[in-house]
């Protein structure tokens, strides 16, 4: 799935990194302002199947990076799960993405502004972490990790489709633990769970993130 036209023709953009709709409820107030971002912020996600280390690009995607770190710092990612594994049948395998997030609206902070890849210069390549959303500007705490290059998810300002124009917001990459990502992605899929485009993509048993913690930052 290396070519944008093929990606968009095979599967509508809006069906890919959509956020699961949580039940209605009041969101929590915003936390205190976070400390200044390092150029690269590092986070370890300790899951039931192993540890995934992330490098978040605070230099190029500061809004999405700061948002992710808010949830890490107040430990709202502890105990959440990876719940969706989208498997694409075409192209080189593995092809698809893994999605996780916080699905309790009572624990969500306010949505963040959209950071398109046309602005950040980042891209949806294998190992990238990207914000899931519904409409642009609705992203909160759901995120996806790509198993393969899916550059059709990048923003295309020349596209006629508003969704393709906006694309999705990459804000970092996996630096260690892609074998763990693959193991979770390979977990059994339910044929009945999920609604709409997510039906047939939900894990039978979500894989829990036991803890999400900052690691010492690195400079560029």
Tens digits of residue pLDDT in 47-70: 999 999 999 999 999 999 999 999
Residue with tokens 């969706």: 84
The residues, ordered by sequence, that sit 6+ positions from 143 with a Cβ below 8 Å of its Cβ are: 68, 99, 100, 101, 129, 130, 131, 132
Phi/psi at 162 (5° precision): -60, -35
Confirm whether 94 is domain-assigned: yes
Q: Is the pLDDT of residue 22 over 90?
A: no
Confirm whether 3 is domain-assigned: no
The residues, ordered by sequence, that sit 6+ positions from 206 with a Cβ below 8 Å of its Cβ are: 81, 82, 83, 100
The more confidently predicted of residues 136 and 37 is 136
Q: How many domains does the chain have?
A: 1
CA atoms of 82 and 100, how far apart (whole Å): 4
The more confidently predicted of residues 194 and 176 is 176
Please, which pLDDT band fits residue 37 given cuts at 50, 70 and 90?
Answer: confident
Element (H, E) at 73: helix 62-73
User: Which domain covers residue 75, as residue numbers?
Assistant: 39-214
Please, which pLDDT band fits residue 42 given cuts at 50, 70 and 90?
Answer: very high
In this prediction, residue 159 carries a pLDDT of: 96
Average pLDDT over residues 101-113: 95
Confirm whether 6 is domain-assigned: no
The residues, ordered by sequence, that sit 6+ positions from 36 with a Cβ below 8 Å of its Cβ are: none
Size (the chain), residues: 220
Tens digits of residue pLDDT in 165-184: 999 999 999 999 999 999 99
Mean pLDDT value across the chain: 88
* CATH code assigned at 186: 2.40.100.10
Confirm whether 43 is domain-assigned: yes
Please, which pLDDT band fits residue 34 given cuts at 50, 70 and 90?
Answer: low
CA atoms of 189 and 148, how far apart (whole Å): 19
Confirm whether 23 is domain-assigned: no
Q: How does DSSP classify residue 133?
A: B
Percent of the chain with pLDDT over 90: 76
Average pLDDT over residues 111-136: 97
Confirm whether 10 is domain-assigned: no
CA atoms of 195 and 88, how far apart (whole Å): 18
Q: How far is CA 45 from CA 80, 185, 188, in A?
A: 11, 15, 21
Burial 29-64 (b: 16+ CB within 10 A, else e): eeeeeeeebbebbbbbbbbebeebbbbbbbebbbbb
Please, which pLDDT band fits residue 4 given cuts at 50, 70 and 90?
Answer: very low
Percent of the chain with pLDDT over 70: 83
Confirm whether 15 is domain-assigned: no
Confirm whether 92 is domain-assigned: yes
Please, which pLDDT band fits residue 14 given cuts at 50, 70 and 90?
Answer: very low
Average pLDDT over residues 6-13: 39
CA atoms of 136 and 40, how far apart (whole Å): 24
Please list the residues that pair with 51 across neighbouring strands: 46
């Amino acid at each position: 799935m290396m070519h944008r036209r093929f990606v968009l023709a095979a599967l509508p953009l809006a069906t890919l990194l959509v956020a699961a709709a949580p039940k209605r409820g009041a969101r929590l107030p915003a936390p205190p302002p976070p400390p200044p971002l390092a150029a690269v912020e590092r986070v370890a996600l300790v899951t039931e199947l192993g540890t995934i280390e992330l490098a978040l690009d605070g230099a190029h995607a500061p809004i999405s990076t700061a948002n992710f770190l808010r949830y890490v710092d107040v430990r709202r990612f502890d105990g959440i799960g990876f719940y969706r594994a989208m498997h694409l049948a075409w192209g080189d395998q593995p092809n698809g993405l893994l999605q996780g997030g916080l699905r309790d609206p009572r624990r969500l902070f306010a949505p963040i502004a959209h950071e398109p890849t046309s602005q950040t210069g980042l891209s949806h390549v294998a190992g990238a972490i990207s914000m899931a959303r519904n409409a642009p500007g609705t992203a909160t705490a759901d995120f996806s990790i790509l198993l393969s290059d899916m550059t059709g998810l990048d923003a295309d300002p020349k596209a006629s489709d508003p969704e393709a124009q906006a694309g999705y917001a990459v804000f970092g990459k996996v630096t260690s633990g892609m074998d763990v990502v693959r193991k979770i992605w390979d977990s059994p899929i339910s044929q009945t769970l999920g609604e709409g485009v997510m039906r047939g993509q939900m894990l039978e048993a979500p894989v829990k993130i036991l803890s999400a913690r900052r690691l010492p930052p690195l400079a560029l």
